[in-house]
Amino acid sequence: MRLKWKIGLVASAVVLAVGGGTIVSATRDAGWLRGRVVDAVQARTGRQVHIGRLNVWLLPFPWVEARDVRLAGVDGADMLVVRQVRARLSLTPLFAHRMVFRSVSVMGATLRLQRLPDGRADWDFQPEATAGSTSVAAGPGRLHWNLGLADVTLSQGELRWDDQFAHHTGAVDLPHARLTGLDGTAPDVNIQGTKNQARFELTGQTGPLLPLAQTLPLQLRLSLNAGGRSLGLAHLDGVLHPGQAEGGLSLHTGGSVGHLEDLGLFFPHAGLPAARNVSLDVTLGGVWREPQLLGLHGRAEDITLPDSPAGLALQRLGFDAAGADTPLSFKLEGQLAGQATVLSGAWGNAATVGRALLAQDTAPLPLDVTLAQGEAHVHAVGQAGAGASELDVDGALDRLTLPPNWPGLTGFTVKGHVAAAETAHLLAQSDWNARLSALTASADMQAASVVWQGLTWTGAALHGNVQGGQLTLDPVSAQADGRAQSGRFVYTASATGPQFSVEAHPVLLPLSAVQGWLGWPPDMQGVAQFVGAVSAGGATQAALWQSLVGHVGISVVDGAVRANVLKTLLGPNVPAKGTLPVRCFGAHLQFADGAAHIDQLGFESDVLHVRGHGTVTLATGALDMHLEPHVLLGGAAASSSVRLRGTWVAPALSMETAEDGRYGITIGGGAEDGGETCQPLLAAAREGEGGPAAPPLKPRKEDKVMKLLHGLGLFQ
């Protein structure tokens, strides 16, 4: 035993002497080592490398420390900045002229991955020379050294990406990451990151990395967490083939999340919709630069889009493509205003859809889609892609129920054609005018009946056309209350602002809808008959008001008005509350120079008639109205002239003086034509078109009449 111990001691001394001499020879000049490391990395990456400071220690064990390490990106700016790197040198590999770094500790690293608009990326390295392993070139009379890594630990790291080609950016913090077994056949990966209040952990194994194997198997798992609860899981399995000329791949990846909106913690600007039980599985083949989609499966439930209209519920979404040549089928099930609705169809196949999504191929793909409600359906067939798309639409629905505040249609039919030269550009636009300019369409639609807010139209028909940024609906026709109606609408997208024109000959509309369009409170109830033609254009609301020209007649019979409208017109002391019945209302307006010139305004209830004229400035709501209220007294009436100024929000009412400067009240005289004065008012407002007659007068209560007189200030 004593002999063996002595032999071991001598052998150890020899190893230390020879190894120590080798270490001293290799590391006596840190500047020499720094230069060789820089040269080796630059040769392997084709990028500039900077090491600010390099220190080498021999005791108590050989180790190296580098500070301010930088690697340039494809644009010349730093893609990697490391505050400090420490590593131990293995002794045994030094005898083979290999520097193997173990226990590599990287502190304060920032990695920026960038892809430029022309497609050049930081991760696309162009080595100056290829070799089986990273090596430090030897100068004249010097030994040749190879470099190797065994394990790396990262702390306080940060990862940023800026894809200017695909328009994606982001960043995550990497508080801890560890790669072990880098000099073996199956390195282990453990990377932990945080984003906002969420955390992720990537674990698994890969094939040999240093040097990179000709075939690189991957088995990685990703877990997402926030607040102590699991958000979702993902996996990546398969093989990369770096040894092949273009880098082949065979990968299967997938994942699932309980609530899609939870991913907003990692992608706060993605605008993700709300959805439950979302899963996705993808199979990829081909080569790295042009991956091929070999399979695709996805599921989601209870989807809520950001701008989803009321009454639309998307319950289930599924899409599948089992193989590269299999059509990508999809099915979206939901409820539209309580009616079961299904959108289903097929688009291209997995391979062609993959090229469209992954390689941004713009070639159009066959598309066949059906919208079904029960046995009835609307069918569209054609081609669609990121570039040109073209579809023919044809079908019928027994009943088309739209969201609340929209019309309901029965016996609906449609036949048309739609096309776009740049579909991706069209879908990316949020501006209505830009979308209209990118679209070409023509359609004929009919409905046996249309019901909207209590009003029913029959025999409705519409021809629509979109061409050159102009939408034309002409004619629009229907029957309502036994009368034919027709109209025309033209909207043109323009660089100076949208232009529109509207014609009605006549058109009946619910007052509630009209007031909603204009942003007015629902002060009047009933059905309004519109006649006339107007046009306007401009980029701002003020420009639209200023350019508005044309004439409009509005009439209502057997409606109702809120008392606050009368208080606005006739003063706050009018003894009215709730709603008052309206026998008839009529107004005829001329639009010009930013104002509505009201040449006739009339309103009649059983006890109160109002006639007037004046001007309303559209942009400000300024009023200049001359009104003459009449309170009916049995077979006679009491009336006076009033002036309404101020604005609609803050009206100012005053008695209007006569030519001699005095105020006057007229008592006596009955209503014209035996008490019927609605007919001439309605005739003027309808511009000669026909319409329903006003309901007959009801008996008047004299005490109510006197209250009106007192409220108007005619008697005290």
In a domain, 355, yes or no: no
Q: Choose between 341 and 606: higher pLDDT.
A: 341
Which of 47, 162, 164 has the alpha carbon at shortest distance from 116? 164
Which carries the bigger pLDDT value, residue 138 or residue 420? 420
Which amino acid is present at 605? S
Which token pair is 392?
A: 């023919």
Q: Which residue has the tokens 């028909």?
A: 461
Indicate whether 238 belongs to any domain: no
CA distances from 17 to 12, 23, 62, 91, 143 (A): 8, 10, 14, 12, 18
Least confident of 177-191, 534-548, 576-590, 659-673: 659-673
Q: Is the residue at 55 inside a domain?
A: yes
Question: How would you write 116-139 as a 3-class SS string?
Answer: CCCCCECCCCCCCCCCCCCEECCC
Percent pLDDT > 90 in the chain is 48
| Residue type at position 470 | Q
267 versus 235: the higher-pLDDT residue is 235
C-beta of residue 327 within 8 angstroms of C-beta of residue 346: yes
Other Cβ atoms less than 10 A from the Cβ of 14: the count is: 10
The pLDDT assigned to 51 comes to 92
Measure the CA–CA gap between 317 and 526, rounded to whole angstroms.
42
Question: Could you give the CA distance from residue 425 to residue 419 in angstroms, rounded to a whole number?
Answer: 13
Q: Predicted confidence band at 660 (pLDDT cuts at 50, 70, 90)?
A: low
User: Amino acid letter at 712?
Assistant: L
**Residues 83-127 pLDDT 10s:** 999 988 777 776 776 777 888 999 999 999 998 988 888 888 887
Q: Please, which pLDDT band fits residue 325 given cuts at 50, 70 and 90?
A: very high
Cα gap 363→353, rounded to integer Å: 10
At residue 28 the predicted structure's pLDDT band, cuts being 50, 70 and 90, is very low
Q: Can you tell me the distance from the alpha carbon of 527 to that of 555, in angstroms, rounded to the nearest whole number? A: 9
Residue 548 resides in a domain: no
- For 209-226, letters b (16+ CB in 10 Å) and e give bbeebeebbbebbbebeb
Q: Phi first, then psi: what are they for 129, rounded to 5°?
A: -155, 150
Query: Is 360 inside a domain boundary?
Result: no
Residue 634 lies in a domain: no
Task: Name which of 132, 127, 128, 180 is nearest 153 in CA terms.
Answer: 180
pLDDT 10s digits, 160-190: 989 888 788 889 999 999 999 988 899 999 9
Higher pLDDT, 9 or 543: 543
pLDDT at residue 59 tops 70? yes
Helix (H) or strand (E) holding 163: strand 152-163
Calculate what percentage of the chain has a pLDDT beyond 70: 85
Choice between 25 and 635, residue whose per-residue pLDDT is larger: 635
Confidence of residue 19 (pLDDT cuts 50, 70, 90): very low
For residue 475, the model assigns a pLDDT of 93
| Residue 87: strand, helix, or coil | strand
Q: Which domain holds residue 57?
A: 21-123+146-183
Q: Predicted confidence band at 637 (pLDDT cuts at 50, 70, 90)? A: low
- Flag whether pLDDT at 21 surpasses 60: no
CA distance 23 to 376: 84
Higher pLDDT: 637 or 588? It is 588
**Whether pLDDT at 12 is above 80:** no
Please give the residue that has the higher pLDDT: either 419 or 673. 419
Q: What is the pLDDT of residues 567-600, one digit of tens each?
A: 766 666 665 677 888 999 999 999 999 999 999 9
Long-range contacts of 469-474 (CB under 8 A, 24+ apart): 469/433, 469/436, 469/437, 469/493, 469/494, 470/436, 471/436
Structural domain includes residue 427: no
Residue-wise pLDDT tens digits, 474-526: 999 999 988 899 999 999 998 888 999 999 999 999 998 888 877 778 888 99
Among the candidates 527, 542, 557, a domain finishes at 542
| Gap between the Cα atoms of 235 and 256, Å rounded | 10
Sole residue written with tokens 């519109």: 530
Tokens 């082949």 belong to residue: 248
Residue among 429, 397, 426 at smallest CA distance from 412 = 397
pLDDT of amino acid 9: 38
pLDDT tier at 339 (50, 70, 90 boundaries)?
Answer: confident
Asked if residue 429 lies in contact with residue 418, where contact means CB atoms within 8 angstroms, the answer is no
Helix (H, G, I), strand (E, B) or coil at 485: strand
| Per-residue DSSP letter, 422 | -
Q: CA 493, 496, 501: angle at the middle one, nearest 5?
A: 50
Maximum CA extent, the chain: 144
Select from 525, 542, 559 the last residue of a domain.
542
Helices (H), 148-289: none
pLDDT band at 234 (very low <50, low <70, confident <90, very high): very high
Mean pLDDT across the chain = 84
Q: How many domains does the chain have?
A: 2
Residue 44: its pLDDT value, please? 76
- How confident is residue 666, by pLDDT bands cut at 50, 70 and 90? low
Residue 704 confidence (pLDDT) above 60 = no
**Which of 243-247, 357-361, 395-399 is the most confident on average?**
395-399
pLDDT at 605 over 50: yes
Within a domain: residue 179? yes
- C-alpha closest to that of 612 among 577, 676, 574, 568: 568
The pLDDT score that the predictor gives to residue 571 is 62
Query: Which among 684, 696, 693, 691 has a CA at the least distance from the CA of 529?
Result: 691
Structure confidence at residue 2 (pLDDT): 47
Domain boundary among the residues 542, 577, 594 is at: 542
The highest-confidence range among 426-440, 616-630, 667-681, by mean pLDDT, is 616-630
Euclidean distance between CA atoms 321 and 163, whole angstroms: 29
Q: Residue 204: enclosing H or E segment and its boundaries?
A: strand 198-206
Cα–Cα distance for residue pair 30/36, rounded to 1 Å: 10
Scanning the structure block, which residue is given the tokens 């001329």?
A: 590
Q: 416 forms bridges with which residues in the sheet?
A: 393, 443
